[in-house]
Amino acid sequence: MSLLRRHRDFRLLWIGETISRFGSATSSVALPLIAISMLRATTFQVGLLTAAAWAPWLLIGLPAGAWVDRVRRRPVMLASSIASLGLFAAVPIAALADLLTIRFLLAVAIVAGASTVLFQTAYTAYLPRLIDPADHAEGNAKLHGSASAAQIAGLGCGGLVVQLAGPANALFIDAATFLVALACLSAIRYREQDTAVDHEAGLWAGIKLGIGHVAKDVWLRTLTLFGAVSNLALMGYQVIVVVFLVRDAGLSAGTVGALVAAATSGGVAGAFAGRRLAARFGTARALLLCELGLPTLALLIPLSTVSPWLYLAGGFGVSLGVVGGNVVKATFQQSYCPPELLGRLAATTSFVNYGTIPLGALFGGTLGQTLGLGPALWITTAGVPLAGLVLIASPIRRRRDLPAHQGSVVPATAADSSRARTA
């Protein structure tokens, strides 16, 4: 029986998270358009706005992980959702009062980003406890698939809402989705047990434990470094692509929203393809296909001035690969990492992975400002498939599967076995 049908609490979490992702996707279109159309922001300022939203991962990511492992995760998720609701509702209210400025948007972005850090860290540690280990793969596929579908709908609706109601009013949708997510989280019956953490050790000791665990483990270390490099390139092009499609390709806000939504539909396919590719070819090989093979289509994106269909093909391939790879990585981490360390390990990997996102946003914005949007897009999209070289340089390239848990033996490929026999 499907996990959605037989597990009420997972169903509530799934509904709340899916609706919240819809609102976040709407905001991802509305915020840069607010900056561009209402505040006449420069390309660099648009990049700075994105950087501000992700900067909290660098500022509080590590202590957030150590703290989350000491407390119950659901109250943290509830408080974070309440904060985000208030922050996004404040933007259209400020616009109505003629108080909206770039500085105001930056402040909202950075505080909302801090709420996201706490929510995402708690959520990552909460999910494996909510469902059985045997359901992790199915749960991850459903969550990533529905998140991608919600993002498609949110991006498409975001462009239309911006045209019909104005960019600022589109953020009321995001605020409303946080209200629905709060109701779903509140209705979950599962209650966590107290965490088995030494509270006398201090936060810094917990942070060091998480860092050391990732740094010493070749699998966690490789995937963390890859995520950092990949996100640097992904955000480098994503932060300027909306501006590029509006200014260089000459597309309307509604068309841009629909086009980005269609390209993001690759994520829905990737959510289910990742699980099936892993079952058929092995988790390590599926990861290489998703993170190295498919993202080469990103090189079609700078050709969008020739035809919007080229952006669609490139964006679809990137979305399919990224989400498919995320499903494989999330399932691996949930089974591989000790449950009592999930918060700290998630925070450590996210600190590195997401910490490069504001750098990528600043990098893309700076390149767009100095070199022009076209050359900047060529440079940043080329980095997307090149990031996969981190995986090629690791033991992953010689393996069929990633290990199921720490200390488990990972079978080598046939080529490895042949080399061993002839040695």
- pLDDT for 371 equals 92
- pLDDT for 417 equals 36
- pLDDT for 414 equals 37
**273 against 202, higher pLDDT:** 273
Contact criterion met (CB below 8 Å) for 210 and 217? no
> Which of these ranges, 111-120, 125-134, 185-194, 203-212, has the smallest mean pLDDT?
203-212
Contact criterion met (CB below 8 Å) for 402 and 283? yes
**419 against 210, higher pLDDT:** 210
- pLDDT for 194 equals 61
- The single-letter code of the amino acid at 390 is V
- pLDDT for 378 equals 94
- pLDDT for 420 equals 35
* Tokens (6 digits) for 28: 């991802």
- pLDDT for 418 equals 33
**181 against 161, higher pLDDT:** 181
412 - beta bridge partners? 399
Is the pLDDT at 379 greater than 80, yes or no? yes
Q: Which alpha helices (DSSP H) does 166-265 contain, by range?
A: 171-187, 203-216, 218-247, 253-264
Give me the torsion for CA of 305, 309, 312, 317, rounded to 10°: -110
Is the pLDDT at 147 greater than 80, yes or no? no
- pLDDT for 155 equals 67
- Between CA 93 and CA 48 the distance in angstroms is 22
Contact criterion met (CB below 8 Å) for 121 and 343? yes
Using left for φ > 0, alpha for ψ between -120 and 50, and beta otherwise, residue 126 falls in alpha
Percent of the chain with pLDDT over 70: 90
Please tell me whether residue 348 adopts helix, strand or coil conformation.
helix
* Tokens (6 digits) for 22: 């819809």
The answer to whether domain 3-188+202-412 has CATH 1.20.1250.20 is yes
What's the DSSP call for residue 338? -
Please, is 310 exposed, middle or buried when counting C-beta atoms within 10 Å of its C-beta (0-12, 13-18, 19+)?
A: middle
Q: How confident is the model at residue 201 (pLDDT cuts 50, 70, 90)?
A: low
**Per-residue burial over 133-159, b = 16 or more CB atoms within 10 Å of its CB, e = otherwise:** eebbbbbbbbbbbbbbbbbbbbbbbbb
- pLDDT for 413 equals 40
The arithmetic mean of pLDDT across residues 14-18, rounded, is: 89
Residues 79, 85, 87: CA angle, nearest 5 degrees:
105
**329 against 414, higher pLDDT:** 329
The arithmetic mean of pLDDT across residues 23-43, rounded, is: 82
How is the chain split among helix, strand and coil, in percent rounded to 5?
Answer: 85, 0, 15
- pLDDT for 255 equals 79
Is the pLDDT at 156 greater than 70, yes or no? no
> Which of these ranges, 120-129, 200-209, 318-327, has the smallest mean pLDDT?
200-209
Contact criterion met (CB below 8 Å) for 167 and 38? yes
The arithmetic mean of pLDDT across residues 373-384, rounded, is: 92
- pLDDT for 412 equals 40
- Between CA 198 and CA 296 the distance in angstroms is 46
The arithmetic mean of pLDDT across residues 182-193, rounded, is: 88
- pLDDT for 252 equals 78
Is the pLDDT at 209 greater than 90, yes or no? no
Contact criterion met (CB below 8 Å) for 233 and 383? yes
Q: Provide the mean pLDDT of the chain.
A: 82
Is the pLDDT at 15 greater than 70, yes or no? yes
Is the pLDDT at 328 greater than 50, yes or no? yes
- pLDDT for 380 equals 93
